[in-house]
Amino acid sequence: MALASPMVRFEQVQKSYDGETLVVKNLNLDIAKGEFLTMLGPSGSGKTTTLMMLAGFETATHGEISLDGRSINLVAPHNRGIGMVFQNYALFPHMTVGENLSFPLEVRGMAKSEREVKIKRALDMVQMGSFASRRPAQLSGGQQQRIALARALVFDPKLVLMDEPLGALDKQLREHMQFEIKHLHNSLGITVVYVTHDQGEALTMSDRIAVFNDGIIQQLATPSDLYERPENSFVAGFIGENNKLLGVVEDISGGRCLIKLATGEVIDATPVNVTQKGQKTLVSIRPERVEHHSGKVPKGAHAIDAEVLEFIYMGDVFRTRLKVAGSENFVMKSRNAQGEAPLRPGQKIKVGWHPQDARALDP
């Protein structure tokens, strides 16, 4: 998506450390003012390098990075007006919380009285107003992360970058901080660029997500579009749990295609990046879209033989692993409905899904 006047723009940006291998390849990306954009991908995909080039800690090998319409390629990191939050907090251990927050304001030549007002406001934002006199070692991990966030916000930056900021926290605290950061983003209207390898974190917090792999953005979309409409097999496999059935296109027309699976069954799917008869494909189906047909098959739905291999009670949902079309890793997730009998390993059943929920992708 090309924005008329984006807050951040990457144009044909490349990065190589050795002059031969590109870790970021011809990146073109616009980030809107006030947007929460997450760069998501596995280790080595180029997401953190992209963030570090925007921060000024790495230099682009080729291309231009702009902030508010002006090139920042040659601008020093401390002159970019960008707030930064790291996974390891990067707080000064010999300074109090108040002194840690004061430091970026002093660097900018701000008067003491103004510094005190901004420090109090930033600490109140993250509900740490009574901790100004403590040192980082006297704080828990979650408290240190709140202080790191307050320090990034204290000088009113127009852009805040966050590099795996919640990676060191336990699951419950991490989920709590996800909502706190999102609420702060909404209330302050700041632009946030966030890096993570945690897909759940990205889906929870983002306005848009850029999925990186091998130095390239594989797909840039809203969380719901990424999950419901992945454009290739990498995105389908990386975002959420995903069933994969290999087959060959038997027919393709009218926005639908018929896929013959390896075991001979023929299913209907939505063609995404397959275009012709005879082409090999990977059909992607989300586990929660799979239905157990215990009675009459709904009109327009598939019905395919399956064998129950494993049934797991997870509280609000049942997770059933099935053997379907030769695959022993086909998963069905169903809501724990009152009165529903558990399935038994070895049980033969029929399962299905609506054709629009099956996407024919590159194998």
Same domain, 109 and 226: yes
- pLDDT for 354: 87
Residue 298's contacts (CB-CB under 8 Å, 6 or more residues apart) are 291, 352
The length of the chain is: 363
* Domain assignment present for 108: yes
* Domain assignment present for 154: yes
Q: Are 160 and 192 in contact (CB under 8 A)?
A: yes
* Domain assignment present for 17: yes
Q: Give the number of other Cβ atoms within 10 Å of residue 347's Cβ.
A: 14
Same domain, 181 and 251: no
Q: Check which CATH number belongs to the domain holding 159 and give it.
A: 3.40.50.300
Q: Are 126 and 149 in contact (CB under 8 A)?
A: yes
Q: To the nearest 10°, report the CA torsion of 231, 237, 238, 242.
A: 110
Same domain, 62 and 203: yes
* Mean pLDDT, the chain, integer: 90
Cβ-in-10-Å burial (0-12, 13-18, 19+) of 144 comes to: buried
Q: Is the pLDDT of residue 175 over 60?
A: yes
* Domain assignment present for 170: yes
Report how far apart, in Å, the C-alpha atoms of 8 and of each of 4, 129, 139, 149, 191 are: 11, 32, 34, 21, 9
* Domain assignment present for 3: no
pTM: 0.89
Q: Check which CATH number belongs to the domain holding 346 and give it.
A: 2.40.50.140
Q: Give the integer Cα–Cα distance in Å for 263 and 189.
A: 53
Same domain, 269 and 166: no
User: Domains in the chain: how many in total?
Assistant: 2
Same domain, 163 and 67: yes
Q: Give the integer Cα–Cα distance in Å for 343 and 313.
A: 10
Best-predicted range by mean pLDDT (10-14, 130-134, 256-260): 10-14
Same domain, 263 and 225: no
Tokens matching residue 249: 């296109």
- pLDDT for 300: 65
Share of the chain above pLDDT 70, in %: 98
Same domain, 313 and 222: no
Residue where one domain finishes, among candidates 175, 205, 233: 233
Q: Is the pLDDT of residue 307 over 60?
A: yes
- pLDDT for 37: 97
Report how far apart, in Å, the C-alpha atoms of 234 and of each of 237, 244, 251, 292, 307 are: 5, 11, 24, 27, 27
Same domain, 257 and 179: no
Q: Give the number of other Cβ atoms within 10 Å of residue 75's Cβ.
A: 15
Q: Is the pLDDT of residue 81 over 80?
A: yes
Report how far apart, in Å, the C-alpha atoms of 104 and of each of 18, 59, 151 are: 34, 23, 8
Same domain, 179 and 48: yes
- pLDDT for 35: 96
Beta bridge partners of 83: 160
Same domain, 351 and 217: no
The amino acid occupying position 326 is G
Q: Are 105 and 121 in contact (CB under 8 A)?
A: no
Q: Is the pLDDT of residue 89 over 80?
A: no
Residue where one domain finishes, among candidates 200, 233, 266: 233
Range of the domain at 308: 241-361
Same domain, 117 and 202: yes
H or E stretch including 117? helix 112-125
Reported confidence tier of residue 4, pLDDT bands at 50, 70, 90 = low
Reported confidence tier of residue 338, pLDDT bands at 50, 70, 90 = low
- pLDDT for 26: 94
- Please give the residue that has the higher pLDDT: either 297 or 18: 18
Q: Give the number of other Cβ atoms within 10 Å of residue 298's Cβ.
A: 12
Share of the chain above pLDDT 90, in %: 60
| Residue labelled with tokens 């059933």 | 320
Mean pLDDT of 171-178: 85
* Domain assignment present for 132: yes
* Domain assignment present for 2: no
Tokens matching residue 150: 């307050």
What is the radius of gyration, based on Cα positions, of the chain?
A: 25
Residue 327's contacts (CB-CB under 8 Å, 6 or more residues apart) are 243, 244, 245
Residue where one domain finishes, among candidates 182, 200, 233: 233
Angle between helices 141-153 and 97-107 (to 10 degrees): 20
Q: Are 244 and 232 in contact (CB under 8 A)?
A: no
Same domain, 188 and 334: no
Reported confidence tier of residue 260, pLDDT bands at 50, 70, 90 = very high
Encode pLDDT of 180-230 as tens digits.
Answer: 889 889 988 999 999 999 999 999 999 999 999 999 999 999 999 999 999
Tokens matching residue 22: 């590109």
The closest alpha carbon to 222, from 195, 248, 204, belongs to: 204
